[in-house]
A and B are shown apart, each in its own frame.
Chain A
Amino acid sequence: MENEKTAVKSLEAMLNMLPEDLTNEEKEKVAEIRGMLKNISKKIDREE
């Protein structure tokens, strides 16, 4: 699971590196991806 954890963590970090002046639509998409990553983290925790 370490590999998956790293993937989630680094994807989150890359989302944080996005500029702040995103359009509303882009912000919604970012929020959607964050939600997906959160769910993956939960899944990983459950499986551990």
Chain B
Amino acid sequence: MTKEQIDRLIGAVQCGDRKELAKFISDIKLRKDYLTSWRKDYDTEHKIEIAVYRDIMAQIENDGYEYFYSKTLEDESARELLTGLHDPEKIMRCFEDSDELEFDNCDKIEMIKSSRDVGLIRACLEGKIDGVRPDDEQKLRLITASRDIAFMKECIAGDVKVRLSKKDKQVLIASSGDIEFIKEYIEGKLKGVRPNDGDKRHVLEMSGNVDLIASCIEGKLKGYNPNDMHKFYLMLPVVQELDDEVKLTVLKGRVHENDQLGEILATFSSLSEECKKYFEEYLAYRRLPTDNLELPFKILTNLGPEAFGGDRAKKRLAPEAINALGEETIYSLFNYNAASWAVDRKAIEIDKIIENPEMFHAYEQFRRTFAQEQPTQFMDKRNAITEFSKYASLIGECLSGPLTSEETAILQAVLQDGQVQINSKEELPAFPEKRKEMVEELIGDDPYNALCYLLTGKNSTEYYFVNAGQLTRAMQDFGKESADFAITKALNEFIELIGGGMSVTQQKKVLRAYNNDLQNEFTAEGSQVAEFRKAFRDIELQIRRMYGKELADTLIKDELPHGEADEKGNETIQLAGEDFKMLVCGIDTYKQGTGNFAQMARGKKYISTTLISEKHLSKAGATRYYGFRNIGENALVTESNYAKYPHPLTELERESEFFSADKLSENNQVNQVMLRREYLGDDGKMRDITPDYIVCFDGMIDDGDREEAKRLGVPIVVINTQEYEKRVKENSEEKAEPAVEVPAEYENTKKDMMDILRNARKKCTVKSQRVAMGKIIAEMEKELQADKNMMH
């Protein structure tokens, strides 16, 4: 934001010119929802200022930030404090007045971050600044913001009291952009980390440093195992750095995951006919509808298993595998992204199942006695395959003869846990001790992970933390005040208590006590930790499905009018005021694209859509829109009531933010609904997200729309936006409440009181002032509300 824009904004605020303010907000494309809160809650000029600049803080560059504060705050001392944004002492003094300045936790963290002062950041990380509590993500951002490699190293080594998971450390190193720092990690010279080949590869891939990645792939980087190089995800800029031979070797190993295959092939200076055929057939396979296994089999026969990532794939397509697991499971293993990821990276083997299919089926029966039922049959099947492959000899031995109740309990725990290797029935009693040893090691390496594992049986990357706001929202949206929601809330607080605030020594002491307790799980004494783990239910999936179902049901609630064939032979449906709900996905927003959904959909895991309805037509600009009304309840990944997620998307499934369909489009922003392109249907079978319509606005249908509609075999929906805008306007006029004037005396009195308290500053503590101020304001608000009620 420029200084001119800031002046314009301040002018509007100071004059109380709401129209100008709204226009300004619209001009610079700020979030508009603050206007709503402003009308509801901010009834003094000072508060209006705060309401405005809180929302625009993120948009102001550093210089403008200071300028903005210095211009907007009337209070001399506050101005002095705030103009010294990069001065740690001034920032701390400013925090003392944070109530008056209405700085919340996030504001304070932002100020510390922008100071880039290592001392201040360290104090914040270690919880030494009153009232500032960064969460894990904010801690990571604070460390990154320091831009101080030596400090980052201290944090990684554990010399600063901050908990960093293995992944956090990787992000820190990769995002530092410091080549020497990354090299030290790869060479295993950094204190506090012990990276394996996969970790090193992951950091290199995250760093996006083309030269480093190319050096690794070519086997030139010390500390990186050349045998691991074929596992690199090949980015186009890296490929361009490699010679043909190396490129081909690496590409063959990762061909099944690469959605830029066509572009990569174009970088080869020469390619044998055999290679060309190999890749072309593979590309043809990627374009196939997912219910056809014929071509994969053909490719496998002609081109070998490398086409799908190696021998494992060959085994999965062997007739014995199909006999043992059934064609449907094999097909799902191939086509379900998550499953293929698991199969390829987590080394799910099916050899054991092929060797003994009867025992596998017996195991499937047995696991029903202990495993939580998964939302779809395939997920159960996949888990069963993983467990059986890992514990085949143990399962074979145990299920072939009688088991005592204790043996059964331990066997169930071993299989459910999946982290401790027990190979025979004889070894079963050793499980609690082995698990204890494993947790002890985890406490040393990654205490936070150990905490999650101890309490939930899952590690920190598997346990989805449902935040308190989401829990409350879900309770309100579904009228569900159930105990399991409240338990999750308490559990998260519990994890925060031990994992967030405690000193490392205290934390380890607690974790060791819990680990000792867990060891008693199968004794007469029993274990409270084990009891909790058994009772624990991860409600994230429950919440996701509740919102997924609500969305799926909402989309098909209103029937669309019948379509009619237009003069060019396309079925068109006219919407001019009728109720409807639809997800739209715009394509080719920023660049010239293919104009073709099938092309656009290839190789991507998610699709970003926007919910539009009779009340809300805001959407991102695009050259073509696809409409969706028929989605399954498992398709939903996450939602946001404003455009939030950039591409490429990483770790999206851990976002877990959901809104009811009504609330999603409440604030006239372009909302975002992320869906899986391939999802598990309600019947447990894989489904693809496919468009139900081409959507056009105000009769603007071009030939490309018509062609695409014919290609997909779907009608064109034409939305008359003017009719809907008219309808929204009429509704809002009907509902508008008469404006209630705030009495001028109230404002004056409040200002007078503020002045008195400001002058009193020298006579009493800031805390006493805050308490007094709080009481006075509360009384005045009550009176004002009473007056308003009387006026109504």
Contacts and interface: CB of A to CB of B under 8 A. Distances in A.
A9 B531 CA distance: 9
B535 interface: yes
A11 B495 CA distance: 11
Contact of B535 (A10, A21, A30, A37): A10
A11 B532 CA distance: 7
B536 interface: yes
A33 B513 CA distance: 19
Contact of B497 (A3, A7, A9, A26): A26
Interface of B is mostly: helix
Closest 3 CB pairs of A and B: A10-B532, A13-B528, A7-B535
Interface string A19-45: 101110110011011001101100110
B497 A30 contact: yes
A12 B300 CA distance: 57
Interface residues of B, number: 29
B484 A25 contact: no
Contact of B486 (A9, A25, A39): A39
A25 B484 CA distance: 26
Interface string B116-135: 00000000000000000000
Given A6-B534, A30-B497, A11 B510 contact: no
A10 B514 CA distance: 12
B537 interface: yes
A14 B494 contact: yes
A10 B454 CA distance: 13
A8 B535 CA distance: 9
A29 B497 contact: yes
A4 B484 contact: yes
A2 B233 CA distance: 48
Interface stretch (B281-289, B501-509, B754-762, B766-774): B501-509
B537 A3 contact: yes
Interface in B474-506: 481, 483-484, 486-487, 489-491, 493-494, 496-497, 501-502, 506
A14 B532 contact: yes
A7 B501 contact: no
A4 B490 contact: no
A37 to B, nearest CB: 6
17 contacts: A4-B535, A6-B532, A7-B532, A9-B531, A10-B529, A11-B532, A17-B528, A21-B506, A23-B501, A25-B501, A29-B501, A30-B497, A33-B490, A33-B497, A36-B486, A40-B490, A43-B486
B90 to A, nearest CB: 26
A24 B377 CA distance: 49
Contacts of A3: 535, 537
A29 B529 contact: no
A18 B532 contact: no
A18 B510 contact: yes
Given A4-B535, A11-B532, A17 B517 contact: yes
Contacts of B490: 11, 33, 36-37, 40
B48 to A, nearest CB: 34
B510 A19 contact: yes
B487 A8 contact: yes
Contacts of A15: 494
Given A4-B535, A36-B489, A11 B506 contact: no
A47 B528 contact: no
A23 B506 CA distance: 10
B493 A29 contact: yes
Interface in B493-552: 493-494, 496-497, 501-502, 506, 509-510, 513-514, 517, 528-529, 531-532, 534-537
